[in-house]
Amino acid sequence: MNFLKKRFHRYYLHSRILLPERFERREYAFMLFDEDTMHRHMAFSSREQLSRYLHSHAPAHVYYSSAYYRTPSAATMREKQWMGADLIFDLDADHLPQAEQLSYTEALVEVKKEMQKLLSFLHDDFGFGKNETRVYFSGGRGYHCHVSHKAVLSLGSQERREIIDYIMGRGLDLSEIVRERSIPREGDARYGQRFTHKTIEIDPSSGGWTRRILEGLVAFYERIRHMEREDAIRELTKIEGIGRKTAEELYGGLTDERIARIKRGKLDQATGFKRIAIPLMKNLAVSLTGEADEPVTTDIKRLIRLPGSLHGKTGLRVTPVDIDGMEGFDPLRDAVVFGDEPVKIIINKPVEITMNEQTFKLEKGDAEVPEYLAVFLVARRNAVIKKSME
């Protein structure tokens, strides 16, 4: 038996798996070590049955279906008979722009920020309670959020897609959010419509994206206002479509009184608003997915990692994260399950990593490291076990 499998086996012998709600209605799927096929369409009627399976197979990856079915073990969707599905959000580092340039740790920090944005949408806009949104570290390069509020269970994929679009700001139409008004200029009345003053207004009492954009604008303008002139101009001209002249006008016009008006939703001259709003929107939205990649979240029958199980490519545990304590969650400490007895490995690529609050700097070649790091590196194919051991 190989090193990882042995360790996983030991883990499953002693640990309690966190069972999803309606767990006997779910489909389970497994990937075993040294195999490329997924074992699907399994169902378990008791915790013991599932535990027994995990002990005897020590799988590399354990999944369950977000959907629950009348007959979860049936082979086809039709026979399974879909009854409902949790709403699942899968935030993965691979979906971040420039994911390749980030280290494992950095990537996870970025994903955590996205998760916090997501939670603010789910709590403030969608009104889910904190106890209805559960966050898990995926064991890999991301975080999952499970929503099991009863109102969402029966939503179809089109409806789920609307939720995703909302959170990603997809299809957001600025003209639905702002009101453009043409006000005749004083004294120009006799010229009629031709001399009008275009203003943009945002309803400050509105919620949803309107509120987010207005708050974002205020924060942005306040930040600009407190910058040195040249810094502010540089920041503003970074925005596509804003030239030096517009930037200067904008900066010069940012008085206290002006900002107070913006807070009330009165954006006065349209200048720059749309230009600023577009990158702002991107910033406020959650990046759930890469461009070509369809977000799996709308899938009403997808498989997700079972909380409490181990991720075969890291050896880390799929771990619940306390929403209020998210800030302090460190996957390379809090999702580590293995001990620190020394293990001899051969490293194939230099590593620098902080795990269990200990920093390791390892060169290529032989090394002796604590078991938890050995598992992590071997699983990530960054090292192999030194033969004499096995």
Partner 1 sequence: MFNSVDLTQLARYPFTTEAKEWVKNEKVNTADILSDAVYERARMRGIARVHQALKRGIVDEVPLLGEADCIMELFSYPIARMIVAAVESEYLIRRYALAEAKKAYTALKNEPPEFISILAGEFGITTDHRGIHFTDYLKYAPTWDTKWKLVNRNLQHGYVVLQHHEIARLIQEAIREKIQRELANLFAPPEVKRIFRDDIVAMRSSVASKDRRPKIEEVNEEYFPPCIKSLAAAARAGTNIPHVGRFTLVTFLHAIGMETDDILKLFSASPDFNMEKTRYQIEHITGKASGTTYAVPRCDTILTWGLCYPDQLCKTVRHPLFYYRRRSRR
Active site members: 90, 92, 293
Under rule CB under 8 A, which residues in 359-388 are in contact with partner 1?
A: none
Between 175 and 359, CB nearer to partner 1 = 175
Under rule CB under 8 A, which residues in 224-263 are in contact with partner 1?
A: none
Inter-residue contact 110 to 76 (CB < 8 Å) = no
Interface characters, 111-140, with partner 1 (x: CB under 8 A):
-------------xxxxx------------
Instruction: Provide the Cα torsion 251, 255, 256, 257; round to 10°.
Output: -130
Selection from 99, 63, 68, 64 nearest residue 82 by Cα? 68
Applying CB under 8 A, which of residues 116, 120, 196, 210 lies at the interface with partner 1? Answer: 210
At its nearest, how many Å lie between partner 1 and the CB of residue 374?
40
Between 173 and 327, CB nearer to partner 1 = 173
Selection from 54, 136, 85, 141 nearest residue 303 by Cα? 85
Applying CB under 8 A, which of residues 157, 199, 237, 271 lies at the interface with partner 1? Answer: 157
Distance CA 182, CA 197 (A): 5
Listed ranges 95-103, 108-116, 140-148, 200-208: which one lies at the site for partner 1 (CB under 8 A): 200-208
Q: Does 219 interact with partner 1 (rule: CB under 8 A)?
A: no
DSSP E strand stretches across the chain: 28-31, 38-42, 61-65, 67-69, 82-85, 87-92, 133-137, 142-147, 178-184, 196-202, 266-269, 303-305, 319-321, 342-347, 351-355, 358-362, 365-370, 383-385
- 236's enclosing H/E stretch is helix 229-237
Distance CA 23, CA 70 (A): 12
Distance CA 129, CA 186 (A): 51
Residue whose pair of structure tokens reads 């699942």 in the numeric block: 88
Q: Does 75 interact with partner 1 (rule: CB under 8 A)?
A: no
Between 134 and 317, CB nearer to partner 1 = 134
Distance CA 125, CA 59 (A): 39
- 3's enclosing H/E stretch is helix 3-14
Q: Does 284 interact with partner 1 (rule: CB under 8 A)?
A: no
Q: Does 200 interact with partner 1 (rule: CB under 8 A)?
A: no
Inter-residue contact 133 to 147 (CB < 8 Å) = yes
Q: Does 279 interact with partner 1 (rule: CB under 8 A)?
A: no
**How is residue 306 written in tokens?**
């079972």
Interface characters, 286-325, with partner 1 (x: CB under 8 A):
-----xx-x---xxxx------------------------
Q: Does 189 interact with partner 1 (rule: CB under 8 A)?
A: no
Q: Does 53 interact with partner 1 (rule: CB under 8 A)?
A: no
Q: Does 147 interact with partner 1 (rule: CB under 8 A)?
A: no
Applying CB under 8 A, which of residues 109, 185, 198, 208 lies at the interface with partner 1? Answer: 208
Listed ranges 95-103, 137-145, 157-165, 308-316: which one lies at the site for partner 1 (CB under 8 A): 157-165
Between 104 and 126, CB nearer to partner 1 = 126
Inter-residue contact 261 to 268 (CB < 8 Å) = yes
Between 119 and 163, CB nearer to partner 1 = 163
Q: Residues 124, 130, 132, 133: is their CA dihedral positive or negative?
A: positive
Q: Does 151 interact with partner 1 (rule: CB under 8 A)?
A: yes
Interaction site with partner 1 (CB under 8 A): 77, 82, 124-128, 151-152, 155-159, 161-163, 165-166, 169-173, 176-177, 206-210, 291-292, 294, 298-301
